[in-house]
Structure 1
Amino acid sequence: MKILVRNLAAATTEEKLNSLFIEYGTVQSCSLVLDKVTGKSKGFGFVEMPKVGEAKAAMKTLNGYKLAGNFIRVKKAESKVEATEEIKE
């Protein structure tokens, strides 16, 4: 399951994000979205967890968690197709 993590502090690293989620199970991948020009974090990223139960537990527990001074928001990531279809409706 792909998870969207928002409201990340600029200082948050992929390693820190990975270590936060690995407490809830297997993390397949973890990536921050970076600005193409500056190379700095845009304040959000994605975590992929293969087991749905583990991903749901992580989302439930970590949504609203204070990380590096920011309260992060965690939810299931929607695919671009799903997001586009919602806009059309």
Structure 2
Amino acid sequence: MKILVRNLDRSVSQQELLELFQPFGQVESCILVMDAATGKSKGFGFVEMPHAREAIKAIKGLNTFKVKGHGIRVKAAEA
């Protein structure tokens, strides 16, 4: 299941994003979207988890969770 993560502080690294989701289960991929011109984070990313039950737990557990002072928004990514 692909998960959209928004409202990330721009200093959050891809590794930090990955570590947020790992306690909920297996993470297949983790991508932080970067600005091509500046090379800096755009403040959102995608996490893919192969097991829907784990992904749903991660969404419920992390939506509005504060990371570096920002309440992140986590939901299933639309196809």
TM-score by length of 2: 0.98
Amino acid aligned to 2:11: A
Q: Does the alignment pair 1:65 with 2:70?
A: no
User: Could you give the per-residue CA deviations for residues 7-57 of structure 1, whole angstroms, max 9, x where no partner exists?
Assistant: 000110010010110000000000100001001000000000000000000
Q: How many residue pairs get matched?
A: 79
Which structure shows the bigger proportion of residues in helix conformation?
Answer: 1
Structure 1 segments, 4+ long, off by >2 Å, are none
* Letter matched to residue 67 of structure 2: L
Higher relative contact order (CA 8 A, sep 6+): 2
Question: Given residue 64 of structure 1, which amino acid in structure 2 is its aligned partner?
Answer: T
One-letter identity of the residue aligned with 1:69: G
Equivalent pairs: percent with the same residue? 57
Matched, 1:54 2:30: no
Structure with greater Cα Rg: 1
Query: Any gaps of 5 or more consecutive residues in structure 2?
Result: none
